[in-house]
Amino acid sequence: MGMNRRETLAIVMAWLSLFQGFLVAVNGDFNYKEALTKSIIFLEAQRSGKLPPNHRPAWRGDSALDDGKLANVDLVGGYYDAGDNVKYGFPMAFTVTTLSWAAIFYGHDLRAAGELDNVHSAIRWGTDYFLKASSRKNRLYVQVGDPNQDHQCWAKPEMMQTPRTVLQIDENHPGTEIAAETAAAMAASSIVFRRVDRAYSRRLLNKAKLLFQFAKTHKGTYDGECPFYCSFSGYNDELLWAATWLYMATKRPVYLEFIQDESISANVAEFSWDLKYAGAQILLTKLYFEGEKSLQNFKNQADSYVCSVLPDSPYHQIFITRGGMIFMRDGANTQYVTGTAFLFSVYSDLLAKHNQKITCGNQQFDSTHLMAFAKQQMDYLLGNNPEGRSYMVGFGVNPPTQAHHRGASVPNILNTKDFSCGMSFVRYFLKNVPNPNELTGAILGGPDRFDNFDDKRWDSPKTEPCTYINSLAVGILAKLATHSV
């Protein structure tokens, strides 16, 4: 028996009510320039060391000013990667590499948005630290802080009482992934500073060459950052990634020969701090389009990556939530959202410039198709989602207020004697109230595979931020801020 018009209208109204937040967000674009500015401010909130006078998050102060003393080396500076107080070299280097990529490919857009200098400062905060960490030949300091003890105390960095243990790699204790990723960071950033500070750029590039040589001469997976940053993908992706950035920076045949003859590549469906193949393949596709036809295989692999991710590709293989978000795994899942959006944006630009399309089986996709998907992923994070809320702190509608972050959730206590590690979780971590300090611009871990989100500090897979989630967002936010897509 069919429904009458009143029943049909009631059902339609119920659905409209259910997805009201979602539909409202669909109808309007976002203030991408504001999102861009705030995403960079978050990176400033992650700085370790002696903060500069123009530091924007006023609630942050100097921290970890004795880092490196246990190893008789100066390791002050760098970044805390997430909501804790350990400095992990592996994700820090990836943050700097991807931020440098954004500055190289979207420098014009960043300048137009008034953020290029801030991005340069963010990169330099990392590279200054890496120059210290690599100051001795065939040695790289890769971690400061004891993660196990750090995770037993909910303290903001300014009042840390936990040990600042130093870990290193060297000829006898190799760590190819970290050495190669740091080489990539130094090579990419050397391109950024080439026109701004030539001497500094040369220092970075020389260090990149040495680190790459060290990485491929002394091969071995480094597990010192496990279980927090274990390299599940091995080191071949980092070697290809580093060689690609060194070739981009130098145009020296030795790096192209390594890419062509020695490197190992693979078809993949994700891009992350652990898995760099897709990023290298898209960079090499740029060179292929510019005439380096020996790189055809990398172009094919870049296309395979896109075909594996696009929802309307016949070769699509990754999970997309009902609300339209890429979902790979619990815990900082938004890194895959921003990472995919960034790579698709870059590839979209390459396709447009060279008037190319991607073929996936019996279908073809052009630059506008890729960019539309990239934009949709970013829009999801900014508010165009079933919950009708922003996943960037301090931005948009109903943004999160309980980021899983020590510095943001512990108030600015003047007297550190009032602080107790033993009581820190009860007093600050488990309190169901907004953080006293707004972690402006942080893109949090995000919703689960069912598009559900709990704004609770203790639900770390959903509420913990990471530097590399934001570094991957900077380039595409700059593009969206200055182009009507």
Return d(Cα 65, Cα 44) in angstroms, integer.
17
* Total residues found in the chain within this entry: 485
Catalytic residue of the set 55, 404, 405, 483: 404
Which residues have a Cβ under 8 Å from the Cβ of 156 and sit 6 or more positions away? 63, 85, 406, 407, 410
Residue 63 and residue 158 in contact, taking contact as beta carbons nearer than 8 Å: yes
In three-state secondary structure terms, 163 is coil
Q: Which of these, 104, 99, 107, lies nearest to 127 by C-alpha position?
A: 99
Is there a catalytic annotation at residue 404? yes
- Residues with Cβ within 8 Å of 289's Cβ and at least 6 positions away in sequence, in order, are 299, 350, 353, 354, 356
- Distances in whole angstroms, Cα of residue 310 to Cα of each of 144, 284, 422: 39, 21, 48
**Residue of 114, 56, 27 whose CA lies nearest to 481:** 114
Q: Using CA of residue 13, residue 15, residue 17, residue 20, what is the dihedral sign?
A: negative
* Residues whose CB is less than 8 angstroms from the CB of residue 45 and which lie 6 or more positions away in sequence, other chains included: 57, 60, 407, 408, 439, 440, 441, 442
User: DSSP character for 457?
Assistant: T
Looking up tokens 């611009």, which residue turns up?
441
Beta bridge pairs of residue 49:
63
Q: How far apart are CA 219 and CA 470, in angstroms?
A: 30
Give the three-state DSSP class for 23: helix
- Tell me which residue of 97, 95, 117 sits closest to 107, measured CA to CA: 117
Beta-bridged to residue 143, according to DSSP, are 88, 167
Yes or no: say if 451 and 25 are a contact pair by the CB < 8 Å rule. no
| Residues 351/343, Cβ–Cβ less than 8 Å | no
C-alpha closest to that of 200 among 120, 141, 133? 120
Residues marked as catalytic = 404
